[in-house]
Amino acid sequence: MKKKLTIFIDMDGVLADFKKAADVMPDVKNPDEVLDFSKFEVMPGAKKAVAKIIAMGHDVFIASTPPWNNPDAWGQKRNWIEEHFPALKRKVFLTHRKDLLIGDILIDDTTYRGQKDFNGTFLHFGQNELDWATISTMLGTQNTVQKYWESAQQEQKEIPFPTDIPGFEGVLDALYSI
């Protein structure tokens, strides 16, 4: 397993509550073309989880797709990131092709911008109860497993399967695909 992961996190619907902002305009067909992206609320648990992931030593970036027909959104997204996630203000990729990103994990809530073809682990946020609490636990468990593994290797002892680590259940697929 790697110690430091490169993690890309989508903005709208993952870090920023796009749905809540769009719900106030139920009659607007394409709310992304008229919304002010700098006014979105932060998704519940996002700030704490991102801070925890950064504190684990992972290399975190925001990968967002700005609406083509709303050029103001590009600057609005930048302003929102600087206000709510200042540690990531110069770690932003604006792209319509997330499959071209090079990293270990992509956390995104949609699948129509190449997410499924990302050459790493795609975590489909909002699906199968995958929220910030689950992702934070999963990556925390990955770090715990890494430390456990290294400690056992240094002591040159047999490494048993670490089922006694809290939160380990249910994350094996994600851990071993990294």
Residue range 4-47, pLDDT digits in tens? 899 999 999 999 999 999 999 999 999 999 999 999 999 999 99
Q: How confident is the model at residue 58 (pLDDT cuts 50, 70, 90)?
A: very high
Residue 146 has pLDDT above 80, yes or no: no
Mean pLDDT of the chain: 83
Residue range 8-17, pLDDT digits in tens? 999 999 999 9
Separation of CA 92 from chain center? 12
Superfamily for domain range 6-176: HAD superfamily/HAD-like (3.40.50.1000)
Q: How far apart are CA 107 and CA 39, in angstroms?
A: 22
Residue 161 pLDDT: 43
The residue ranges of DSSP E strands in the chain, in sequence order, are 6-9, 59-64, 92-94, 105-108, 121-124
The DSSP call for residue 8 is E
pTM of the model: 0.79
Least confident of 5-14, 59-68, 111-120, 132-141: 132-141
Residue 169 pLDDT: 45
SS3 call for 64: strand
φ, ψ dihedrals at 7, nearest 5°: -120, 125
Q: How confident is the model at residue 150 (pLDDT cuts 50, 70, 90)?
A: low
In the sheet with 92-94, reading across from the earlier edge strand, the strands are 92-94, 59-64, 6-9, 105-108, 121-124
